Chain A
């Protein structure tokens, strides 16, 4: 019997590739946001509303991650921005290597702002860095207010929580303040914005959040 000391982080291979992606994004000065949320939370919808408002200001691209179909990419492509669909064929998350391969056929160098829409899932994508500047967790009112308490890791790792479908609040037993408190207990630095892509309520705040992130980057040089 021989014991071999290994002491290797199991996700190290992913993290190393994520770091290479991050360097590429930095060299091209492109801001990258990784959107994570449950299936049906409205990840594509929150992208549509913000792209419509910001595509005149920034050169925007979107990488869409789904298990199958190119439906989300087709929706985004209608807005006239660079779009690429990744199909994971069953995998529950995007990993850094999938993004690295996608970058070889995607003109990210020509962008100011790149959104990566992850596979709909609150658990697995939280553990896989892609090389992004920040994670945005998208959550919707009908899912219930207990998501931060039940899925703490993604809320701990995210910079922004986008609470979507607030037009449905009158029909749901949902306490926004209680949800915010749960989310802030897990991550006191988490910023929170509430939106409805149907009525447009809160969309301006979501746009403002992104614009301020872009301005912070530019002022850093």
Chain B
């Protein structure tokens, strides 16, 4: 259900982005999605298929660019992949970790005809 409301947001964003542009149909959406964004691409694709019916994005393909979860240590500055959601520095074991990648969830671009 979460994905259904997100799919509606996507349609709204597509409408705004194409307003005033000379396009008749949206053929694909490029979505950047972090590992920690709590959004499941397959579910979103399904939901988008439902809510896009009758809009200019009907039958558009969703392409996902996944971003891995990465952190930067607040003590030693090391950047490292966060595995199994263990927010602890791989180098010095500090728990002061800033998430630098993996929470993204944005519509990067759309392709239209």
Bound together, the chains give a CA A187 to CA B6 distance in angstroms of 26
Main secondary structure of the interface of B (DSSP, over half): mixed
For B21, the chain A residues whose CB sits under 8 A away are 2, 4
Task: Pick from A2, A7, A90, A126: contact of B111, CB below 8 A.
Answer: A2
Instruction: State the Cβ distance, A182 to closest chain B Cβ, in Å.
Output: 9
Q: Tell whether B55 is near chain A: CB-to-CB under 8 Å.
A: no
For A81, the chain B residues whose CB sits under 8 A away are none
Q: Nearest B residue to A151 by beta-carbon distance?
A: B38
Bound together, the chains give a CA A7 to CA B97 distance in angstroms of 26
B5-46 near A? 1/0 per residue, CB < 8 Å: 110011011100110010100010001000011110000000
> Are B17 and A4 touching (Cβ within 8 A)?
yes
Within 8 A of A (CB), among B42-93: 84-88
For B10, the chain A residues whose CB sits under 8 A away are 10
Within 8 A of B (CB), among A71-123: 90-93, 95, 123
For A156, the chain B residues whose CB sits under 8 A away are 36, 85, 87
> Are B111 and A10 touching (Cβ within 8 A)?
no
Range class of the A interface residue count: 20 to 34
Bound together, the chains give a CA A129 to CA B110 distance in angstroms of 26
> Are B110 and A4 touching (Cβ within 8 A)?
yes
Q: Nearest A residue to B31 by beta-carbon distance?
A: A10
Q: Given A2-B23, A2-B112, A127-B38, decide whether A91 and B106 contact each other with a Cβ distance below 8 A.
A: no
Bound together, the chains give a CA A184 to CA B12 distance in angstroms of 38
What would be 24 A-B contacts, judged by CB atoms less than 8 Å apart? A2-B112, A3-B112, A4-B18, A6-B107, A6-B109, A7-B109, A10-B107, A11-B6, A11-B9, A92-B1, A92-B2, A123-B38, A124-B38, A127-B39, A149-B84, A149-B85, A156-B36, A156-B85, A156-B87, A184-B95, A185-B86, A186-B86, A186-B87, A188-B97
Residues of A within 8 A of B (CB): 1-11, 13-14, 90-93, 95, 123-124, 126-127, 149, 152-153, 156, 184-188
